[in-house]
A and B are shown apart, each in its own frame.
Chain A
Amino acid sequence: MMQDRRSLLKTAAAAALTPALSAVPGRARAQAANTLKIGVLNDQSGVYRDISGPTSVACVRQAIQDSGITARGVNVEVVFADHQNKADVGATIARQWLDRDGVDVIVDVPNSAVALAVNAVVREKNRAYFNSTGATTDLTGAQCSPNTVHWTYDTYMLARSTGGAMVKTGGDSWFFITADYAFGHALERDTTSFVQAAGGKVLGSVKHPLQSTDFSSFLLQAQQSRAKVIGLANAGTDTINSVKQAAEFGVTRRGTKIAVLLMFINDVHSLGLKAAQGLVCTESFYWDLNDRTRAFTSRVKGNLGGNMPAMSHAGCYASVLHYLKAVGDMGVAAAKASGADAVARMKAIPTDDDCFGAGQIRADGRKLHPAYLFEVKSPEESKGPWDYYKVLQTTSAAEAWRPLAEGKCSLIAS
């Protein structure tokens, strides 16, 4: 706990003045052999805080508790830091954690640009990396790594589930409003290939800077293109502002549809059902999906400060839980010695957790589970706060993810 507070304070100071060094001082150099250290690296203060942030940390703690590993004499410490959505800050913290502070695992890491930067650092240091909130398929494709598991979702799965469903219902011409960084580009690229494969056309796209406030001129450009579907390849408050302003400008009144390619339940909460009703989106977890997800949510809910777990948080929980299972199998010393070995063990045993049910991790690091296409309920349908989704369609684990061969991951012998 002390360590946590220290790292938080330091991070806050770094955030305020220089985007430079932060996190824990070099005190914990000598690690006890039976202590594992998990670092949650995410956005604690910006647009992605609610879909990652403190809720991810709470979910990781829940996983440690549920794993029962401490009863077997293994210590697990959790540290966390704010990467401020900057790839250089994220990579610096990761390097410091792995070099100096004896962190064994890095978890979460929203923002694809930061996710890829951390991916390279963890591989170089041979530790383990479970990305939950990053979206880019490059993590299991061109930049795949034996040290990485990409758990929760990716741009291919979103494009297939949401994009595919839109094309099926007649949305065959698209215009993209895209966040101008790795994630947005990947999402637009993957959705485009689905639209085109289904015989649709992409009429154009605009790329906007991350954390824009005004989307009206982009929406207007989209409208002028006369596309049937406006695809939002952005996330967080950018998506919220886009949807809010699309409603304001009556974009959908002439039959144009909005495809929100990435939305989390926290975004729906922020939009309010009045503005969000009828939107479709894809997540791989919803707290009210089945008995197991409800059980998980009721266990963790008290520690979230009013937030609810989205798929990104569930992924942090499930990946750490599975890792601790693998550690129990192979022993702490072996897991600490080589992150790649720990990940290989994780791939060898099937996964099973309350959030995603039974599944497995593929050779390229892709975790496989079903994807759910949800429709946001109307205010009348909703029974109360956070009762937001109904399932429209389920894409099976076998179909939801990019086929192994298409990813061109170097770990796969072709």
Chain B
Amino acid sequence: MFEDLLFQLELGLPQVVLGLVNGAFYALLSLGLAVIFGMLNVINFAHGAQFMMGAFVAWMLLNWVGIGYWPALVVAPLIVGAIGVLLERTMISKLYKLDHLYGLLLTFGLALIIEGVFRNQFGSSGLPYAPPEVLSGPPVDLGFMFLPKYRLWVVVAALAMSLATWLVIEKTRLGAYLRAATENAALVQAFGVNVPRMVTLTYAAGVALAAFAGVLAAPIYSVNPQMGSSLIIVVFAVVVIGGMGSILGSVVTGFGLGLVEGLTKVFYPEASSTVIFVIMAIVLLARPAGLFGRA
């Protein structure tokens, strides 16, 4: 009996760790979505495409300009964020007064176009991107498993980024403005705060978060045009389960669902792509506002 349990543990523990690594990506991506939805009330369906762009920009920086992984971690989000500014100014900002559905359709269309352009240019099988020298050596021995250094770094980076975002929004003056602007934009503007610019920058920040996750993902996953669309649906489920717009909710749910998915891969792998949606259905029935959402 005890040995049996030990065996299950030996089998399960590494999966828990791997689940956390995947959860890190879910958390980072849903964080950006939550920020954008919380502040702009826009459901950013282009998020997956922006994640993919982050990875591709990192690849271009390396192969065309010779800029390596570490600078790319900063530069790629800036570039993709700048593209986000452009999109927000020229298109998305026109839709704030309309129903959510319009923003959703616009960003979904944008995602399809962006993916199509990249597919035309780079094909669908993807491009190689090696992890940085420092993190590529032999995997770290955790006692019960070997974990590549790079995966460890992903978890650390994702946690740090989540924490930083939370701090900015909850603890700084800028965050206070942002939160106030979502409650009552006209009043905040009356105090002399440039609300439209703040909204633009918030969108850019959300997009930059997606691109940051993209750069993190580049050495692990194949850098290909559809890498975002295979993640984004799961990430939307994460946001819905966590509670639309809740920062804490998206981070906790991101890691949590990564974990659940990881364990499903051991006990019933065929269901690993569906388990998250089953949870989503249950959560929506029990708590329509999500686990951390305010109804």
Contacts and interface: CB of A to CB of B under 8 A. Distances in A.
Given A207-B269, A213-B230, A213-B231, A249 B125 contact: no
A75 interface: no
A233 B231 CA distance: 22
A49 B119 contact: yes
Contact of A217 (B15, B112, B127, B150): B15
Given A218-B265, A248-B150, A250-B146, A213 B221 contact: yes
Interface in A244-296: 244-245, 248-250, 253, 266-267, 269-272, 274-275
A18 interface: no
Given A47-B226, A209-B270, A248-B150, A220 B125 contact: no
Given A50-B123, A250-B146, A270-B224, A208 B128 contact: no
B128 A275 contact: yes
Interface stretch (A142-150, A235-243, A395-403): A235-243
B30 to A, nearest CB: 15
A208 B269 contact: yes
A88 B267 CA distance: 30
Interface string A221-245: 1001000000000001100110011
A45 B148 CA distance: 32
B15 A220 contact: yes
A216 B16 CA distance: 12
Contacts of B148: 248-250
B15 A241 contact: no
Contacts of A270: 125-128, 222, 224
A311 B19 CA distance: 37
A236 B128 contact: no
Given A49-B119, A50-B123, A250 B128 contact: no
Contacts of A307: 123
Given A236-B125, A237-B222, A270-B224, A216 B130 contact: no
Interface in A8-58: 12, 16, 45-51, 53
A236 B227 CA distance: 13
B270 A267 contact: no
B130 A253 contact: no
Contacts of B15: 217, 220
A209 B269 CA distance: 8
Contacts of B112: 16
B227 A213 contact: yes
B146 A218 contact: no
A28 to B, nearest CB: 27
Nearest to B265: A217
Name the residue in A16, A180, A214, A305 with the highest tally of chain B Cβ atoms < 10 Å from its Cβ: A214
Q: What 3 pairs between A and B have smallest CB-CB spacing?
A: A272-B128, A49-B124, A270-B125
29 contacts: A16-B112, A45-B119, A45-B124, A46-B124, A49-B119, A49-B123, A49-B124, A212-B230, A212-B273, A213-B231, A217-B262, A217-B265, A218-B265, A220-B14, A220-B15, A221-B266, A224-B10, A237-B226, A240-B125, A240-B222, A241-B222, A245-B220, A248-B148, A248-B151, A248-B219, A270-B127, A271-B128, A272-B130, A305-B120
Interface of A: 12, 16, 45-51, 53, 180, 206-209, 211-214, 216-218, 220-221, 224, 236-237, 240-241, 244-245, 248-250, 253, 266-267, 269-272, 274-275, 305-307
Interface of B: 10-11, 14-15, 18-19, 21-22, 109, 112, 116, 119-120, 123-128, 130-131, 138-139, 145-146, 148, 150-151, 219-222, 224, 226-227, 230-231, 262, 265-266, 269-270, 272-273
